[in-house]
Structure 1
Amino acid sequence: MFVLIKVIVSAIVIGIITEVARRFPTYGGVVAALPLVSILSIIWLSAQGEQNPTLSRFVLGVLWGFPATAFLLFIVYIGLKHSLPLIVSLGFGLFGWFVFLSLQELFLKQVKLLIFQS
């Protein structure tokens, strides 16, 4: 039953955001950029009994993914601005997201190696 409640509430939030975006695209974008999914996820995890260490690791994961997500959105914006179809823009964006995350992970490993070798 709890899963159904999560799905319904989350769908309502997404529905409201898309309606705002349809009427007011800029404001809809600002609202969509709010960390609603992250906040809802934290609430749902907490309501399911997850403890602070798990919630903390989840939030760190969200922070870790944020730069790549911003890069994805930038690529999609550029693609749409240059009249690429949505699916192509999203494809390029997802590819860029994956490459960005991979490079970010590689960079962090190199930094850790440098720090621990000193």
Structure 2
Amino acid sequence: MYTIIKIFSSAAIIGLVTELARRLPTYGGIIAALPLISLLSIIWLTVQGQTHEQIQQFTWGVILGLPATIVMLIGVYIALKNNLHIGLAIPIGVVCWGIFLGAQKWLTLIVKS
């Protein structure tokens, strides 16, 4: 039952945000940048009985993923600003994300050693 509720609530949020973005792109982007998925995930993890430590680890993972996500969005933005098709802009953003995440992991390993 939780899975169905999670799917419908997530779909409703995505639908509302994209509808707002269609009418007011800047505000839609600002709302989309809110940590809605992270907060919903924390709520659902709590409701489903995950430990405080597991939720803390999840939250740390979100924090670690933020810089790469920012780089991905910058990559998509630059590609679109240069009139590239969305079908190319998104893969460029994903590649930027992957490269940054890999570099971040490599740097973390170097700092730890």
Aligned-partner SS, 1:62: helix
Residue 29 (1) aligns with residue 29 (2): yes
Q: RMSD value over aligned CA atoms? A: 0.5
Separation in 1, partners of 2:43, 2:80 = 34
Contiguous gaps of at least 5 residues in structure 1: 114-118
| TM-score when normalising by structure 2 | 0.98
1:61-88 Cα deviation digits (max 9, x unpaired): 0000000000000000000111101110
Q: Which residue is 1:93 aligned to?
A: 93
Identity of aligned residues (%): 46
The amino acid that maps onto 1:84 is: L
1:75 aligns with 2:51: no
Whole-Å separation in 2 of the counterparts to 1:14 and 1:23: 14
Runs of 4+ that moved beyond 3 A: none
User: Number of matched residues?
Assistant: 113
One-letter amino acid of the counterpart of residue 70, structure 2? A
Q: In 1, distance between residues paired with 2:10 and 2:89?
A: 25
Q: How does 1:1-118 map to 2 (within 5 A)?
A: 1-113=1-113
For the residues of structure 1 that align with 2:82 and 2:52, how far apart are their CA atoms? 44
Residues 17-58 of structure 1: CA deviation (Å, up to 9, x unaligned): 001100000000000000001001111111111011000000
